[in-house]
Amino acid sequence: EFVNATGLTSGPELKVGPLNTDAEILEGIKQTGLPWYHGVASCPMGKESDPNAIVDTNGKVFGVSGVRVVDASVIPLIAPGHSMAPVYMVAEKLAEAIKRGI
């Protein structure tokens, strides 16, 4: 609702085809990778019932054991202004969860 209310849109997911080997993955990254400044929301945090969410509130990737994402990509929407403060907040919260074994 918020996304539609502010006029934000998202484009289609970029797919580079089936990548099965390390060499194919590396080539796919070379062909499609772009530099991002303020790269947020590529692995949004949310509830497991949210189809857009990739990680839970502790940074754990849904459906994958032993993997966490602790960077700007978990922030579901780009904050106005510089992303440094929100990234610090997320990093502190998730570092504490890791230390506690949550």
Residues annotated as catalytic (active site), given as ranges = 38
Q: What Rg, from alpha-carbon coordinates, does the chain have?
A: 15
Measure the CA–CA gap between 97 and 57, rounded to whole angstroms.
9
As a whole number of angstroms, the distance between CA 46 and CA 58 comes to: 10
The residues, ordered by sequence, that sit 6+ positions from 17 with a Cβ below 8 Å of its Cβ are 28
As a whole number of angstroms, the distance between CA 23 and CA 20 comes to 8
